Amino acid sequence: MTPTNPTPARTQVGIVGAGPAGLMLSHLLHLAGVDSVVLESRSRAEVEATLRAGVLEQGTVDLLIETGVGERMLREGAVHHGIELRFDGRGHRIALSELTDGRAIMLYAQHEVIKDLIAARLAAEGSLVFDAQDVSIHDFDASKPHIRFTHADRKRQLACDFIVGCDGFRGVCRASVPANVRHEYSRTYPFGWFGILVKAPPYSPELIYANHERGFSLVSTRSRDVQRLYFQCDPDDSTESWPDDRIWAELAARLATQDDWTLREGDIFQKGIVAMRSFVCEPMQFGSLFLAGDAAHIVPPTGAKGLNLAIADVCVLSDALIEYYATGRRDGLGGYSALALERVWAAEHFSWWMTSMLHRFDDRDPFQQRLQLAQLKEVARSHAFQTALAENYVGHPIRRRASPEHLKRRPQKKRRGAYGVGAT
């Protein structure tokens, strides 16, 4: 692909990965007049078409609106004030908003957030380099950090003050840190999620998280015409072994209720399987290299936390970088890892707890199965348990060291010339 603009040779913050973390970081920095370049290995079309998350926490929604990228989400997304927990053939509503002083979640697909952020960065003449190959990071433990990559068959080098690895779980940044200085904690679950997209009107006004002896299932939504459903499966299973009829029969069995709730079949137009894992890398800073989002941590999707954690990380990190460029102080940068990890571990716990409560574990003995049912009944009965679930699900407010006053400052006009800007 021919670049439409020359790629800069130098920037303040070099960002690897144009997922939610990398794009949001670049956007937040731009609003405070800090320069960045985002290097992404895939094409823009691929990035914008990757189907993943759908649930935005209140803090994520607020940040998108506050920073001028929430307009389409407000128009096309759906606000939900509750979720249903379903087990033993009965539904139990968790009244998210009543339990959290009016906080709520927004159903708006991750790839739509991505499209909105890319559009905003390009409108501001931001530097996004798609199709960047062989990205490697260098000298982040010394004074001259830089990133090397190949673009349009040319080898390039980007010098920067800081490198931020927003390149997801399988990216290059975390792997570039010597193994003896990072501490990794992980758990792999013995199941995956089979996800489908269906052309059909909504099955339910609120998301349904269902526990059943055949396994977990989840009813979610994307729009008035497209619905998102998931069910627990063998992580090594393949989509070929699940013809549509088998999927509908399985979902009908797992979602059946005592009052004959029925699932209308629709046209399934997308199928996929995801593995389930918990993972944390500590710390999230190594010299001039910072990790954010899935590059530093993974949660199983049951708590809908991954995208939201990625956004919270870069919110904290952008404050620290902006403080550094405004004052020369490094306190925020030095405190980033500890502050981000507090939220990360809380989300790890919540996601693990939801996963443990809702899935079928083949290796659990009858005693453990009874404990799982006892936990579900406690949540259905207890206001205190429901409040804890609701607070975690809608997300705690993002803890920031400083007031985000800088967001209100007018963005500096981007300098043209030396760097060259635009999508390449």
- Using DSSP, state whether 181 is helix, strand or coil: helix
Query: Out of 30, 228, 254, 343, which residue is the one contacting ligand DHB (CB under 6 A)?
Result: 228
Active site residue 301: yes
What phi and psi, each to the nearest 5 degrees, are found at residue 86?
Answer: -120, 125
> CA 362 to CA 283: how far, in whole Å?
34
* # residues near ligand DHB by CB under 6 A: 10
User: CA 186 to CA 170: how far, in whole Å?
Assistant: 14
Judged by beta carbon distances under 5 to 8 A according to partner kind, the member of ligand DHB, ligand FAD, none in contact with residue 308 is ligand FAD
419 is catalytic: no
User: In this complex, which beta carbon is closest to ligand FAD, that of residue 89 or of residue 283?
Assistant: 283
Q: What amino acid is encoded at 257 in this protein?
A: T
The residue from 220, 337, 372, 392 that contacts ligand DHB (CB under 6 A) is: 220
Q: Which is nearer to ligand FAD, 256 or 389 (CB)?
A: 389
Based on the residue annotation, tell me whether 305 is a catalytic residue of this protein: yes
CB 297 within 8 A of CB 166: no
Tell me which of 80, 151, 212, 406 is the catalytic residue. Answer: 80
Q: Looking at this protein, which amino acid is placed at residue 23?
A: L
Name the residue nearer to ligand DHB (CB basis): 23 or 307. Answer: 307
Q: Tell me the DSSP string of 86-141.
A: EETTEEEEE-HHHHTTT--EEE--HHHHHHHHHHHHHHTT-EEE-S-EEEEEE-TT
* Contact flag: residue 302 with ligand DHB (CB under 6 A): yes
Q: Which of residues 21-60 bind ligand DHB (CB under 6 A)?
A: 53-55
413 is known as an active-site residue: no
- CA distance linking residue 227 with residue 219, whole number of Å: 8
Q: Specify whether 20 is catalytic.
A: no
At 348, list the tokens: 């790890």
CA–CA separation, 156 and 71 (whole Å): 36
Q: Which does 302 bind (CB under 5 to 8 A by kind): ligand FAD, ligand DHB, none?
A: ligand DHB
Residues binding ligand FAD (CB under 6 A): 16-22, 39-42, 47, 52-55, 110, 132, 135, 166-168, 171-172, 195, 274, 293-295, 301, 304-308, 310
Nearest to ligand FAD of 86, 174 (CB atom): 174
Amino acid, single-letter form, for residue 115: K
| Active-site residue set | 80, 209, 301, 305, 393
